[in-house]
Amino acid sequence: MLVLELARCEYILRRENIIALGNSGTGKTHIALSLGLAACQKRMGGRARAS
């Protein structure tokens, strides 16, 4: 599953970005916060940007 792959935070080591697309109420912010938390727990840091 893609979310579990992202939770491993390997995209950070590869210096890749993540773009979450979807309709309102589909959980994009929830996933972004969860990935940020996973990165912080692995001491990799994180940054979220909403536009």
For the stretch 1-51, pLDDT in tens is: 688 899 999 999 999 999 999 999 999 999 988 998 999 899 886 666 666
Dihedral (CA of 16, 27, 29, 46) sign: negative
User: Which pLDDT score is estimated for 46?
Assistant: 63
The burial class, CB within 10 Å (0-12 / 13-18 / 19+), for 35 is buried
Please choose, from the candidates 50, 42, 43, the residue with its C-alpha nearest in 3D space to the C-alpha of residue 24. Answer: 50
Do 50 and 43 form a contact (C-beta atoms < 8 A)? no
User: Which pLDDT score is estimated for 8?
Assistant: 92
C-alpha 16/C-alpha 34 separation (Å) is 17
Q: Would the pTM count as exceeding 0.85?
A: no
